[in-house]
Amino acid sequence: MTRAPGTDPANGLLVVRPGPLTTVQDLGRRGVAHLGVPRAGALDEPALRAANRLVGNGPEAAGLETTLGGVALRALGPVVVAVTGAPAPVRVDGRAAAWGAPVAVPAGALVEVGAATAGVRGYLAVAGGIAVPAVLGSRSADLLSGLGPAPLTAGDRLPVGPPPTPGARPDLVPLPAPPAELVLRLRLGPRADWFAPAAVTRLGRDGYRVAAASNRIGLRTEGPAVARVRTGELPSEGMVLGAVQIPPDGQPVVFLADHPTTGGYPVIGVVPTADLAAAAQARPGTPLRFAPLREW
């Protein structure tokens, strides 16, 4: 991978095992949706922020987002790392290391994050941040548009920025456990009138499950179909993070960080951003309930 100016080419991390899907993520691209560019960024933003705090980075620093299977990296120079998000075993040169705490890694050591024991997405931060070049103000990989660095492959070298100024670092940053049941609040609109009031009531009463087809673009669901009262299709209109589209099969889709910026299926409501971190950690088969709100 290319590196940002000012980074030391002799330092960084070498990808030994990339895992099923590991990407570079920060807080995403803000204010560019009018260009047709999704926000991208960490799906579980609080987990990335926590990992950055543990190693002394600012919240805007880029880290790695793993998916279920973890990652293995060789430190080309001494680094400090922290792993948060989905709980997983962490090892340095085969020895158990702390999860959810800063870990000093000597030059040449192998850092391994194992398969998640719960949840879906883990976050690895390194002091100094992953210093790939920014694109439109973010270092995040966007799997929909292809902007930013590609998902990791074996042999990639990840540049690391200069260590942050020494200062007080927390020993622990509390985070909620991955959900045994996912409850998503739903602010109705803008197209709730495309559905009968009884359908909205049922949406809040019926149970769903997280579908295996879920990804960084959207959390797909399995359950009772939500029936329309209007036929036809909408012209494409703007989509926001957390929008819940109802496609022709009636199965709600919750838009996540890599979602398209426009769409033509009606949006019955929008899930508040604060609820989406839990959605990022919900495994396929997790029970899901929508909780419609009657006011903003």
- Asked whether residue 191 is domain-assigned, the answer is yes
- Asked whether residue 50 is domain-assigned, the answer is yes
Assigned token pair, 287: 């029970």
Q: Are residues 191 and 145 in the same domain?
A: no
Average pLDDT of span 139-166: 95
Q: Are residues 148 and 190 in the same domain?
A: no
Which of 158, 173, 208 is the C-terminal boundary of a domain? 158
Least confident segment among 137-141, 162-166, 177-181: 162-166
Q: Are residues 228 and 279 in the same domain?
A: yes
Q: What is the number of alpha carbons within 13 Å of residue 43 lying toward its C-beta?
A: 29
Average pLDDT of span 185-197: 93
pLDDT at residue number 10: 66
Identify which of 209, 202, 177, 214 has the alpha carbon closest to the alpha carbon of residue 288.
209
Q: Are residues 128 and 224 in the same domain?
A: no
Q: Are residues 50 and 146 in the same domain?
A: yes
- What is the CATH classification number for the domain harbouring 244? 2.40.100.10
Q: Are residues 22 and 149 in the same domain?
A: yes
Query: Tell me: the pLDDT tens digits for 194-228?
Result: 998 898 899 999 999 999 999 999 999 999 999 99
- Asked whether residue 171 is domain-assigned, the answer is no
Q: Are residues 144 and 237 in the same domain?
A: no
Q: Taking a C-beta distance cutoff of 8 angstroms, is the pair 95, 118 a contact? A: no
Q: Taking a C-beta distance cutoff of 8 angstroms, is the pair 181, 286 a contact? A: yes
Average pLDDT of span 140-145: 95
Q: Are residues 121 and 215 in the same domain?
A: no
Q: Amino acid identity, residue 27?
A: L
Assigned token pair, 133: 């070049």
CA 132, CA 63: separation in Å to the nearest integer? 10
Which of 158, 174, 194 is the C-terminal boundary of a domain? 158
Query: Tell me: the pLDDT tens digits for 246-280?
Result: 999 999 999 999 999 999 999 999 999 999 999 99
- Asked whether residue 3 is domain-assigned, the answer is no
- DSSP labels, 24-51: EE-S---S-GGGT------SSHHHHHHH
> In the chain, how many domains are there?
2
Question: For residues 292 and 2, which has the higher predicted lDDT (pLDDT)?
Answer: 292
Q: Are residues 152 and 29 in the same domain?
A: yes
Q: Are residues 126 and 190 in the same domain?
A: no
Question: For residues 234 and 25, which has the higher predicted lDDT (pLDDT)?
Answer: 25
pLDDT at residue number 8: 59
- Asked whether residue 63 is domain-assigned, the answer is yes
pLDDT at residue number 296: 44
- pLDDT category at 172 given cuts 50, 70, 90 is confident
Q: What is the number of alpha carbons within 13 Å of residue 121 lying toward its C-beta?
A: 28
Q: Are residues 152 and 191 in the same domain?
A: no
Average pLDDT of span 108-112: 98
Q: Are residues 140 and 210 in the same domain?
A: no
For 289, the domain range is: 182-293
- What is the CATH classification number for the domain harbouring 81? 2.60.120
Residue 295 has pLDDT above 60, yes or no: no
In eight-state DSSP terms, residue 10 is: T
Residue 88 has pLDDT above 70, yes or no: yes
The strand ranges marked E within the chain are: 13-17, 23-25, 63-67, 71-75, 79-85, 90-92, 95-97, 103-105, 110-113, 121-126, 157-158, 182-188, 208-210, 218-222, 237-238, 243-245, 253-255, 262-263, 267-270, 287-293
Residue 174 has pLDDT above 90, yes or no: no
